[in-house]
Amino acid sequence: MSGDTCLCPASGAKPKLSGFKGGGLGNKYVQLNVGGSLYYTTVRALTRHDTMLKAMFSGRMEVLTDKEGWILIDRCGKHFGTILNYLRDDTITLPQNRQEIKELMAE
């Protein structure tokens, strides 16, 4: 659908700056909250390509976490699963809908 908006559900949890440093964690699993969508993956998957995620999880910058320890990423979570699968295995299945392709490309 065009014009979709992704909103993070109000959980009452206040984000905080975390001392999380991802350098050397390899196969350690992390919990991600991307615009209210929750994902569980390895640091290795997030650091395979030279992206902002690599900067976040290689220890070059601090990240925001909620009180349960979920790492907060202030983006729409709608297409993050597709992006995460690409980071894992370098393949992508494009959506059929032209608008969704545009949204995915913007991420």
Where do the domains of the chain lie? Answer: 21-106
The reply to whether the predicted model has a pTM over 0.95 is no
- Take residue 75 and report the two structure tokens written for it: 């983006």
pLDDT in single tens digits along all 107 residues of the chain:
334 444 444 444 444 444 455 555 557 899 999 999 999 999 999 999 999 999 988 888 888 999 999 999 999 999 999 999 999 999 999 999 999 999 999 98
pLDDT given at position 24: 52
pLDDT given at position 60: 85
Q: What is the CATH number of domain 21-106?
A: 3.30.710.10
Q: d(Cα 46, Cα 52) in Å, to the nearest integer?
A: 9
Q: List Cβ neighbours of 1 (8 Å cut-off, separation of 6 or more).
A: 99
Q: List Cβ neighbours of 6 (8 Å cut-off, separation of 6 or more).
A: 35, 36, 76, 77, 78
